[in-house]
């Protein structure tokens, strides 16, 4: 089992899903999950850019 650890903006620091996305994950369709994962990749890039 994986556990999400949220930052101050309620974004997981590991998977980059928002709290709302985490809570809704099991009810999402495969295409909706794919869309969330695209958003997660964008959040990850922004996060990594902010660390540079």
pLDDT in tens, 18-42: 999 999 999 999 999 999 999 999 9
Would you state the structure tokens that stand for residue 13, as one six-digit string?
Answer: 């620091």
Q: In this structure, are residues 21 and 29 in contact, taking their beta carbons and an 8 Å threshold?
A: no
Residue found under tokens 């709302």: 20
Which carries the bigger pLDDT value, residue 41 or residue 50? Answer: 41
Q: In this predicted structure, what is the pLDDT of residue 50?
A: 75
Using 50, 70 and 90 to split pLDDT, how confident is the model at 49?
A: confident
């Amino acid at each position: 089992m994986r556990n999400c650890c949220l930052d101050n903006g309620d974004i997981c620091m590991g998977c980059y899903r928002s709290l709302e996305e985490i809570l809704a994950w099991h009810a999402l369709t495969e295409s909706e999950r794919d869309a969330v994962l695209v958003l997660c990749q964008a959040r990850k890039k922004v996060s990594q850019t902010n660390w540079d």
